[in-house]
Structure 1
Amino acid sequence: MNKINEFINSGLYETLLKAVQERNVEIDNIVPFSLLDYDRERLVAARIEIEDLKALLSTNMEEATSFVKSKMQLDFDEEDEYPVGEEVIDDEKPRTINELPYYKNFLVAFLIEYYLLKIQPKELGKYLKRIRIAHASKYEDRLKELWKNVL
């Protein structure tokens, strides 16, 4: 957890964070320990180390920035999430009451996906299933499409 905390407070990570903040993204610099633990679990599920992310980011900052910005523009809400005949009426759909700022560590999850797309693309689907992403195959396809556009 200390390694993750050091990483998100490093100059390298701050550079990426500043590039993202140009999009008027509000960031909360105080990260609860539980979220750092969650990041550690994601790294374990991806079977990579925080040093892998550091190394990749240090040599591919421009590409990583492009990936993160592109991903932040995507709308991952699925309108067809429910089978035909079982759709939810508008009154039952979830609504956002307040939009809270992103915690500073939010880019760790993006960087894990970036790493897998760039270095271990065959592992992306397995990773998404390990972290129990809903509709993992669809999400993987969307990420791969985004990746092609970044390249």
Structure 2
Amino acid sequence: MVDVAAVRGWVESSRYSSLLDYVKNEMSFNVGDEPVSEILFKHDVNKLVLADMSIQELSETANRNVDFCKYLAAKFSIIKGAENEQEGGGQDDKILEELPFYRNFLNLHLIEFYILSVRPGFLDVYLKSIRIPNSKKYSAQLKSAFALND
């Protein structure tokens, strides 16, 4: 069973740290050093439960760091400029300050990558279960980013 302690242990593991370092170096992501809050780990647990995934499956997915990084780059390129649609907003955001990613930010992307790799037919169900606005469009964007890896 996945719980907060398991997710925290995963994010603090050498395997996750290795992937995070690889992604930061390859994509120049700014990732903060501050500890991840309990609530963010709870969100990760919820997503893993809804995806019917284990920490072991996350770890195995993380072993594909080159493919994962290509997917992540394609995903960020495809969704760039469509942030308001995914957040459900209709107005342009006014950016006051761009903060670094939290250390656990790769979990969401690893879950999506795993689903696209192993159970692509489940993606739409998963996105609806985590309440992504405009989930069909987002699903199409993710599938498009994943297809660029083939």
Closer, same or farther: CA 56–95 of 1 in aligned 2, 3 Å: same
Structure number, greater radius of gyration: 1
Secondary structure of the corresponding residue to residue 79 of structure 2? coil
How far apart in 1 are the matches of 2:84 and 2:39? 32
Shift in Å, 1:79: 8.9
Q: In structure 2, what is the equivalent of residue 70 of structure 1?
A: 74
User: Are the equivalent residues in 2 in contact too, given 1:20–1:69 (CA < 8 A)?
Assistant: no
Give the number of equivalent residue pairs.
141
Q: Does structure 1 residue 16 correspond to structure 2 residue 19?
A: yes
Q: In structure 2, what is the equivalent of residue 84 of structure 1?
A: none
Shift in Å, 1:80: 9.6
Residue by residue over 1:3-46, the C-alpha shift from the partner in whole angstroms, topping out at 9 and shown as x without a partner, is: 11111111211121112212332212310111000000011111
How far apart in 1 are the matches of 2:49 and 2:138? 20
Q: In structure 2, what is the equivalent of residue 44 of structure 1?
A: 49
How far apart in 2 are the matches of 1:11 and 1:139? 31
User: Are the equivalent residues in 2 in contact too, given 1:16–1:65 (CA < 8 A)?
Assistant: no
TM-score computed with the length of structure 1 as normaliser: 0.84
How far apart in 2 are the matches of 1:63 and 1:79? 24
Unaligned ranges ≥5, structure 2: none
Shift in Å, 1:74: 3.3
